[in-house]
Amino acid sequence: MSAPLDPGPVRPAPLRRLLRWSVAVAAVGLLVAAVLTEGPSLLDALGRLDPLSVAAATGAVLVGLVATMLSWRALMAGLGSRLPLAAGARVYFLAQLGKYLPGSVWPVLAQMELGREYRVPPARSAAGAGLNLALNLVTGIVIGAAGLALAGARGLSGYWWVLLPLPALLALLHPRLVSWWAGLALRLLRRPPLRTRLGGRALAVATGWSALMWLALGTHVAVLAHGTGFRGRDLLLLSTGAYAVSWVAGFLVVVAPAGAGPRELALVVLLSQALPQSAALAVALVSRLLSTLCDLAVAGGGMVAERVHRARAPDPVTVAGARAGPDGMP
């Protein structure tokens, strides 16, 4: 007899919700104040961004989004649900639109609902979504800390000490430790436990795609920074580290839709160590716009790809849960 699969999201305590809202509002307020203060300089920096730079940055964002979808798909395959590429794109990219709602639970709930169409047990969808998020957080912290410490930019060269915890963070990616902290996280979230041990190969593939995602997203920031006139030697390292750390910061303020506000503020602060503040603001604002447009584009692309897949195959659903037992697990 199976246990209930989805007891529902856990609402944070009122004080915690107030703190998150306060942080989000303060971040947005500081960002707006910076935009108003840097008005003329900001317009000048935006004006230096040529269409070629914006197009190249857009391409890098799209590569990053596809890479994170492939990372999630590798995790799902390791958990026992091997989705076709078109179906995986549809489920993942459509579910990710839920991140524009306040709170971090909506993409997970959307993946659980969309996954039912491909016979993916809801508990497995929740586990895959949680693992994907946790893996991106760990790799983001590792790559972000390494990038900032190695960039050697003004004000960052003394931060070599952030590299010290990297071995411990990398150890968290060992399959046995992944199973442990994933199980702990699911218990804290009152979600069903993992009944399938994630294999080392699936985890390695997922980690590789996650690392590629951060490199691609860092590249889009570097291209935009270069377009504003910055020619730093370690631009890619700084941009990748800054974006990864700011993404983690935006995630931690879960009340902000898709980290909007806190992520941009953190990115401006980190980039301003090497760029003029007006240029850092321009990069952060254009980055947010491109990210939103690309999220919409890949969601639409996932739907089109799945329609084409359905048209070519009378029964397009590979039985993603075919190996599942009566409780929805292998």
- Chain-centroid distance of CA 165 in Å reads 22
Any domain includes 1: no
The count of structural domains within the chain is: 1
Model confidence pLDDT, tens digit, residues 116-144: 888 888 878 887 887 888 888 888 988 98
- Compute the distance between CA of residue 202 and CA of residue 213 in angstroms, rounded to an integer: 17
Any domain includes 167: yes
E strand intervals along 100-147:
none
Contact between 256 and 102 (Cβ < 8 Å): yes
Model confidence pLDDT, tens digit, residues 206-241: 999 999 999 999 999 999 998 888 877 788 999 999
By CB neighbour count within 10 A (0-12 exposed, 13-18 middle, 19+ buried), where does 158 fall? Answer: exposed
- Compute the distance between CA of residue 21 and CA of residue 219 in angstroms, rounded to an integer: 31
Any domain includes 33: no
Any domain includes 123: yes
Any domain includes 326: no
Contact between 330 and 319 (Cβ < 8 Å): no
Any domain includes 23: no
Contact between 265 and 245 (Cβ < 8 Å): no
- Closest by CA position to 87, among listed 69, 101, 103: 69
Q: What is the pLDDT of residue 304?
A: 81
Model confidence pLDDT, tens digit, residues 264-303: 888 888 888 888 888 888 888 888 888 888 888 888 887 7
Any domain includes 70: yes
- Closest by CA position to 218, among listed 247, 246, 241: 241
Is 171's pLDDT higher than 80?
A: no
Question: Can you give the residue range of the structural domain that contains 168?
Answer: 42-312
- Closest by CA position to 108, among listed 116, 120, 99: 99
Any domain includes 29: no
